[in-house]
Amino acid sequence: MAKTTKKRRGAQAAGKEPLDLPVRLGQIIEVEITGLSHEGAGVGRVEGYTLFVPKALPQEKVRARVEHVKKNFGFAELLEVVEKSPSRALPPCPIYDRCGGCSLQHLAYEEQLIHKQQIVKDNLRRIGGFKVEGEEAVIVHPTLGMSDPWRYRNKAQVPIGEQDGGLVGGFYAEKSHEIIDMNECLIQHPANDEAVNAVKEIASQLNITPYDEKNHTGLLRHVVVKVGARTGEVMVVLVTTEAFIPQRDKLVEEIRTRLSGVKSIVHNINPARTNVIFGEKTVTLWGSDVIYDYIGPIKFAISARSFYQVNPAQTEVLYNKTLEYAGATGTETVIDAYCGIGTISLFLAQKSRHVYGVEIVPEAIADANRNAKLNGIENVTFETGPAEVVIPAWKEQGIRPDVIVVDPPRKGCDEALLTTILQMKPQRVVYVSCNPSTLARDLKVLAELYEVREVQPVDMFPHTGHVECVIGMQRIDT
């Protein structure tokens, strides 16, 4: 009997039988919104059952249509705002209701910053088990935002496709691969819009076929544009399925004519049936292999494939806070795990005796060494390999860091790296995070030896649900 009940519940959860819930699919309901999810959806409850309503805000009463249900929660489409929140803003983007990019444009920017601070607090408390209120709590500072939270992105990656027999380019609709054609994105640097529009028009005029993702036919897959915010230099990257581009010289000539700031036109070939943007082969069609930009006083060479923070103004805020939490005075030895192209390492080198950077991607280390040479910075050493392997080897060579800085991807730190940090016992650890949930998980491990004193959220991506943080930690016995 017990086995039958368990099987029945499993079938219900999988949607094979109707669940006994206070709402049903397709039902139009009126619900009060009491909170905001980490993804930016409004949170309401119907007889205790949780409903997520995208684009709804706390303090609002809304009409919504139930679209998806699970045992403990469901999702509904916003139909009408019956009672409006004082924090509701009018999204200036004309395709906001269709594009899947900026999910928080309808929330006043000051409230976005408060929401992101709360996201960090919630994760630290729920996942990390930290106190975030009252005495002896971890201090989570107000989110550092932008004075002008628009036009901040220095990189556009625009998929190209075909609709109604014509070439289109834009961002994907939410949770789909339907391209929403656009001429302007309000969070992109204007030079990005100009370049994308130029390539779309020129490609159409030259009858260059757009990519059909479903049938894996056509030539032009993506247009990637990078711009140096301080230098004004522009790189255009054409991602195609084949090496041969018809009328290639004419295409290059037209791009050069239309875009006065272009310094580099690059061709990347990606023949694979994949959602990954870049293929393995990259060639420069015209101009330089790189463009240049600055973060603070440090100059960086940016290639087609190299990672570079997309919001340079806020990156400087983030790195200055990293430098502050590192407590560097000029005498410290610092290890930068996940160093990438050396952005944080070179920043730290300004006030450190020596910085050691490690990164698993060989091309990134080549860029890091090039950037060090570009700035005449000699007190840095970069090495390729997994941080959890390279750092213990450095320890065997007698390298004893005073500070370890980690800036991992969204999945957080490798467990072996956290163990390595605890074994090496530097005086301070600085954690730069792009994911509050994996941050909280990793801090819980490091709290064995380190006091988590303060957390500084930084709004790197205004009008989206993402938030970055810098965390300063001090070894407990020092």
User: Which residue, 418, 155, 455, is CA-closest to 318?
Assistant: 455
Query: In this structure, which amino acid lies at residue 418?
Result: L
Backbone phi and psi for residue 427, each to the nearest 5 degrees, phi listed first: -65, -40
How far apart (Å, rounded) are the C-alpha atoms in residues 351 and 309?
22
For the chain, report the end-to-end CA distance as a whole number of angstroms. 60
Residue pair 401/333 in contact (Cβ under 8 Å)? The answer is yes
**Residue 248 burial class via C-beta count within 10 angstroms: exposed 0-12, middle 13-18, buried 19 and up:** middle
DSSP string spanning 42-95? Answer: EEEEETTEEEEETT--TTEEEEEEEEEE-SSEEEEEEEEEEE--TTB-----TT
How far apart (Å, rounded) are the C-alpha atoms in residues 312 and 226?
12
How far apart (Å, rounded) are the C-alpha atoms in residues 307 and 407?
13
Describe the crossing of helices 109-126 and 436-446 by its angle, rounded to 10 degrees. 40
| 359 annotated as a binding-site residue | yes
Residue pair 467/120 in contact (Cβ under 8 Å)? The answer is yes
DSSP one-letter code for 217: B
DSSP string spanning 125-176? Answer: HHTT----SSTTPPEEPPPB--SS-SS-BSEEEEEEEEETTEEEEEEEBTTS
| 407 annotated as a binding-site residue | yes
Describe the crossing of helices 436-446 and 415-424 by its angle, rounded to 10 degrees. 40
Q: Check if 434 is active-site.
A: yes
Q: Which two tokens stand for residue 406?
A: 């980690």
- Among candidate residues 99, 102, 185, 434, the one labeled active-site is 434
Q: How far is CA 85 from the centre of its chain?
A: 28
| 474 annotated as a binding-site residue | no
User: Which residue, 330, 338, 150, 306, is CA-closest to 237?
Assistant: 306
How far apart (Å, rounded) are the C-alpha atoms in residues 224 and 238?
7
Residue found under tokens 């800085």: 405
> Cα–Cα distances in Å, from 458 out to 48, 101, 307, 433, 465?
34, 19, 19, 10, 12
| 163 annotated as a binding-site residue | no
Give the residue numbers marked as catalytic: 434
Query: Residues annotated as binding site?
Result: 309, 338, 359, 407
Binding-site residues for S-adenosyl-L-methionine sit at 309, 338, 359, 407
